Each structure stands twice: as C-alpha cells, then as structure tokens.
A and B are shown apart, each in its own frame.
Chain A
Amino acid sequence: MTRPTAGTTLGELERAIMEVLWAADRPLVVREILDELDDRDRAYTTVMTVSDRLAKKGLAVRVRDGRAWAYTAAATRSELTAQALRDTMAGWGGDESRADVLLHFLRDASPDEVARLQEGLRAVERAHADPTLPSGQ
C-alpha cells in the first residue's frame, strides 16, 4: 500500500516527528508519536529509530517512561531556528576553512554604512532610469 505522497523520505519523517513533539505538552512514547502522525502506515520500528536519531542530533530529549523511552523536543522551533542562524552568522566557531559553508546574499554590511548604500541605490536607479529597460519595482 504505497501512496505517492510527500513524507516518504527520512528527512520528512524527522520533520513530522518534530512537529508532533512540538505540539505535545508532555514527553511521548513511540506509540503515541505514531498515533499523532498523519501517515499512520509507518512502521513502529522506523518511528523508534528516527526518534532516536533526533535525540542523538540534540533536537529531541529522551526520558524514561516506565519500560519505554519517551521523547520531548529539546527546544522550541524558534529557539532552534535562532540557534541555527547564530551558527551561520558566527561562522561556525571562527574556523576559517569553514568560513564559506554558506553563500549569503549579503554578509558584510554594517548598519552604519546604510546611508552610503542608500546613495548607491539612487545611483543604480538613475543609471537604469530608461523606461525601455526592465526596472523592477
């Protein structure tokens, strides 16, 4: 019974499980996670493996619940997002060989040069003022 839906890759299952953990107000055991997933055809063992993987990555925390493990989100989505962006801006701990892990649209402007940049923008607008050219906006 294969359905051609999204949510078939490992990454998408990780994402779906994190959504469940973020929505929950207490740690959930694998059976409970499975019940909350939209796609209920998932194998129990797959959900268990992926939940464990999320715990190893530090995205989820594993706690004992009787004889089973229960999982809870390590941080809220916005906390994790802030952490991820902090990593990109801090250049991964200043390791210079990893300085170009990502290509930022703009990586080296300082707020105090904005006035100068406004002037530069006006120069671009003047240069492309010809109405026959694509002027955006």
Chain B
Amino acid sequence: MDPVFLALLVVAFVVLAAAVPQLLPRVTALRGVPGQALLLWQAVAFAGVMSGLLVAPLALLLIARNGREIPHPHQHRVLFAIAFAVTALVLGRLLLHAHRTGMALRRTRRNHAELLDILGQENDRQVRVIEHPTPTAYCIPGRHERVVLTDSTLAQLSATQVEAVLAHERAHLRWRHDLVLEYFTVLHTVVPRWLRSDAGLVEVRLLIELMADRRAAQLVGAVPVAGALVALADGSTPPAALGAGEGASARLAQLAQTRPRPGLAALTVVAAVLVVALPVLLAALIVWS
C-alpha cells in the first residue's frame, strides 16, 4: 500500500500549500476566534512545509527497500544522493529566503526607528509623535520597538480613542505579531509568484488585527476602538498595498460581536492538531506499512 500513502502525501502538500490558503479565508466564522484561527493557519503552513520536505526521502525509501527491511544507504548511493540533494535544495532555498527577508525587515525597521527618534517629539520611551497632517498610527516591531502617531491623530481622536490605538499597537508588540507575519511572508514569497494566492496572507494580516482589536477592546472598550478605526479611515490615503477594502469593515463586524465562542475555539484547535498530525501520520504509514 506504500505508493498510495506517498501519493496521499503529495496530495496533502498540494492541498495545504495551494488549496487551503484560497479556501480557508472564506470560512469567515473563524474571525470570531482570531487566536485559534491563527494557530490553525500556522498548523497549515507547518504541515505544508513538512509534507513538501518529506516527499523526496520517503520516495527514496519506497524505491530502495525490499519488503519491511530498510536497506543500508551504501547499497543505493546514487538514489540517496539525489533524494538528499532535492531535500537540501528545498530546505536551503527556504532558509536563505528567510534569512534575506529577516535581514531586510530588521534593517528597514532600524533605519526607520532611528529616523523617528530624530523627527519625533519624545513622549515616553516607546511612543513617538510626529508632525504630519495625515492621521495615522503604527508600530515599529522588534528590537527598536516604538509606537508612532502623527499629531493630527491626537487632534482628531478623543482621549479614549487614542488609548484604544495605543493598546492595539502595544498588543502587536507584546505578542510579537511581526514574527507571525514574518513566518507567513517567508513561506508566501518563497513560492513562485504565478503559483501563489495573496488571500492567505491577507487573511492572516486581518486575524492579527482582530487579535489586537480584541485586546484593546478589553482594556478600553469596543466602542472607542471602532470609533478610532472610522476616524482614521476617514483621513487615510488610498491604499497602495494588496488586500485593500474589507479589513476595516470586517474588524468593525467583529467588534460588534459580544458572544464568546468557546465551541468554535475548541474545534479550531482540534483542527490545527489534526492538520499537523497529517504529514506525520502519512510518513509513519509509509515507513511501517
């Protein structure tokens, strides 16, 4: 039955890497449990990478072995070298890409933080207020973490709304959402452009915003978070990046939800565990069947 399981592993790879990132964003109920939904997304990404990396070595094992006996690599030097090279190539490309992305992100963040330290009026160690007519708020994550606001943001928002914005940005910094995004960005951009869909990355970004909104709503209430969203949308410039449009409405829709969803949360965690178990299970079936 071995070849069947290997074929299933290939199918699992294609489904996890290509189909799920397209389909999972359509399950909008998951936005009600953003933390658990992010866990599921990470499980999908991890299982996808695992399936991809396991295919070549397991195919080799399938070809080389005789019944239940696992042969010594010396008997199949050429095959062993090919399988090893394929896996090393895929893994190496992924690691190199991760390294480059991480370096570029960190360098850009450091330069931007240094610039803001010069331009900003210092309020406290972490917050920088800069003078600009566009109301905007963001954080610089990482070693030089800062929360940045323009003075026009302070002028247009109420004091509680400013508190909400700060709580939202601090949630991003505290939960290291930059690392979650970096992980997905690396896995997303390593795939050739014609093969990938942006839907998954857009949804992950939204889930991260929902988590930070939820934290801010806990601290200062949902209404000021929603009010700040609308006030900042009003003064914002048209978006240059991908995934424009639905984010703000989807966040407001979640802020209007008051009902906890323990059942859905538990179900999502179970799904995440099953997804991670899938490539492990298939690999075990190939090795031991």
User: Which residues of A approach B to under 8 Å, CB–CB?
Assistant: 11-12, 14-15, 18, 57, 59, 77-78, 80-82, 84-85, 87-92, 94-111, 113-114, 116-118, 120-121, 123-128, 133-137
Contacts and interface: CB of A to CB of B under 8 A. Distances in A.
B275 interface: no
B109 interface: yes
Given A105-B138, A123-B256, A128-B258, A134 B177 contact: no
Given A103-B141, A118-B230, A127-B256, A109 B119 contact: no
Main secondary structure of the interface of A (DSSP, over half): helix
Q: 4 tightest A-B contacts by CB?
A: A120-B252, A136-B224, A109-B233, A136-B221
Given A105-B228, A137-B158, A77 B131 contact: yes
16 contacts: A15-B117, A80-B119, A81-B119, A84-B130, A85-B130, A85-B134, A100-B185, A101-B112, A110-B239, A111-B234, A117-B230, A126-B256, A136-B221, A136-B224, A136-B225, A137-B223
Interface of B: 100-101, 104-105, 108-109, 112, 114-119, 130-132, 134, 136-141, 148, 150, 158, 160-161, 164-165, 168-169, 172, 177-178, 181-182, 185-186, 189, 205, 208, 212, 220-230, 232-234, 236-249, 252-253, 255-258
A121 B227 contact: yes
Given A78-B131, A99-B241, A104-B137, A121 B230 contact: yes
B212 to A, nearest CB: 8
A6 to B, nearest CB: 8
B252 A59 contact: no
Contact of B241 (A57, A107, A124): A107
A5 to B, nearest CB: 13
Contacts of A137: 158, 160, 223-224, 227
A104 B233 contact: no
A15 B117 CA distance: 7
Contacts of A98: 101, 104-105, 108
